[in-house]
């Protein structure tokens, strides 16, 4: 079997097939369930509120997916080093590119599982409203490069520092900064700096797209710049991770 798929299968197996591995999915579903249950208490929502709920659910799924990707990315090299398994892995007939791709595919599998798990929730809160299909499609299209980009960034830190805690804290702080549009409304981001930050921030690009598509019904062509931002983000972080993974810290 191709070493990339072998590593990816091992990584995905750790997350999905191990006896207690599903605990993270249970926690993930508990978060989405809590959010969905909060909505039940509001008996009468307008269509706009409903679209807002779908938008918030999509944002929550992407944020949680990014956190999972960051944690897995931090474990990719530094975790192997701390478990004393990195040196044997580097001595195996596997190139650094294959190792990185295998780890990245493992992160993708986790994101895929989280995305699939979010489907019933998106349906439950959004089926009576507007453009649920668009929310699902755009979450895949924009959420995937953002989440995998954070996974790659965490892998880069993990390979360079060789320390899980350091890379985890660093990556989470960067994720917190990027995810600030979830907490800070568009009004407070209306300054020049806020607009520049929004234009460069892949997380904001994805969130603004969910807003534009789900709430404002904008077309796909208007989202192309934002889509480019998210894929440039993925490309840059993958390149950084690739450079870092060529000479990981293993001592």
Q: Could you say which residues in the range 23-52 bind another protein, by CB under 8 A?
A: 23, 25-26, 29-30, 32-34, 36-37, 39-40, 42, 44-50
Let me know: does 151 contact 71? Beta carbons within 8 Å: no
* Between 39 and 94, CB nearer to another protein: 39
Distances (CA, A) of 59 to 63, 141, 200: 6, 13, 18
Site membership for another protein, residue 56 (CB under 8 A): no
Let me know: does 237 contact 153? Beta carbons within 8 Å: yes
Residue from 6, 215, 227, 232 that binds another protein (CB under 8 A)? 215
Q: Return all residues near 249 (Cβ < 8 A) that are at least 6 apart.
A: 77, 81, 159, 160, 161, 162
| Owner of token pair 């981001």 | 189
At 79, list the tokens.
């975790």
* Between 110 and 132, CB nearer to another protein: 132
Site membership for another protein, residue 141 (CB under 8 A): no
End-to-end CA distance of the chain: 29
> CA-CA distance, 71 to 58, in Å (whole number)?
20
Residue from 22, 89, 141, 182 that binds another protein (CB under 8 A)? 22
* Between 26 and 184, CB nearer to another protein: 26
Residue from 58, 109, 110, 136 that binds another protein (CB under 8 A)? 136
Q: Shortest approach of another protein to residue 129 CB, angstroms?
A: 5
Site membership for another protein, residue 217 (CB under 8 A): yes
* Between 32 and 86, CB nearer to another protein: 32
> CA-CA distance, 131 to 135, in Å (whole number)?
7
The count of residues in the chain is 251
Nearest C-alpha neighbor of 168 from the set 61, 82, 110, 56: 82
- Convert 177-242 into a string of H (helix), E (strand) and C (coil): HHCHHHCCCHHHHCCHHHHHHHHHCHHHHHHHHHHHHHHCCCCHHHHHHHHHHHHHHHHHHHHHHH
Residue from 2, 10, 83, 127 that binds another protein (CB under 8 A)? 127
* Between 83 and 222, CB nearer to another protein: 222
Nearest C-alpha neighbor of 149 from the set 230, 243, 67: 230
Stretch that binds another protein, among 113-121, 142-150, 163-171, 241-249 (CB under 8 A): 113-121
Site membership for another protein, residue 53 (CB under 8 A): yes
Instruction: Print the binding letters for residues 143-182 with another protein: x by CB under 8 A, - otherwise.
Output: ----------------------------------------
Provide the binding-site residues for another protein, judged by CB under 8 A.
19-20, 22-23, 25-26, 29-30, 32-34, 36-37, 39-40, 42, 44-50, 53, 117, 120-121, 123-133, 136, 215-218
């Amino acid at each position: 079997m191709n070493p990339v798929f072998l590593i990816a299968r091992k990584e995905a197996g750790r997350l999905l097939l191990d006896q207690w591995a599903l605990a993270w999915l249970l926690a993930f579903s508990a978060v989405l369930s809590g959010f969905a249950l909060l909505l039940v208490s509001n008996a009468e929502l307008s269509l706009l509120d409903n679209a807002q709920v779908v938008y918030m659910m999509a944002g929550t799924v992407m944020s949680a997916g990014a956190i999972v990707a960051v944690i897995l990315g931090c474990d990719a090299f530094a975790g192997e080093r701390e478990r004393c398994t990195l040196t044997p892995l580097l001595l195996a007939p596997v190139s650094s590119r294959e190792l990185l791709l295998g780890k990245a595919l493992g992160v993708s599998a986790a994101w895929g599982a989280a995305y699939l798990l979010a489907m019933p929730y998106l349906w439950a809160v959004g089926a009576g409203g507007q453009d649920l299909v668009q929310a699902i499609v755009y979450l895949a299209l924009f959420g995937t490069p953002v989440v995998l980009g954070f996974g790659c960034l965490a892998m880069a830190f993990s390979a360079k520092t060789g320390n899980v805690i350091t890379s985890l804290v660093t990556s989470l702080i960067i994720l917190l900064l990027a995810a600030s549009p979830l907490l800070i409304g568009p009004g407070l981001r209306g300054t020049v700096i806020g607009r520049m930050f929004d234009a460069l921030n892949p997380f904001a690009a994805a969130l603004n797209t969910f807003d534009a598509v789900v709430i404002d019904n904008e077309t796909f062509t208007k989202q192309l710049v934002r889509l480019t931002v998210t894929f440039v983000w993925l490309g840059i972080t993958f390149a950084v991770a690739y450079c870092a993974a060529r000479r990981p810290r293993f001592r």
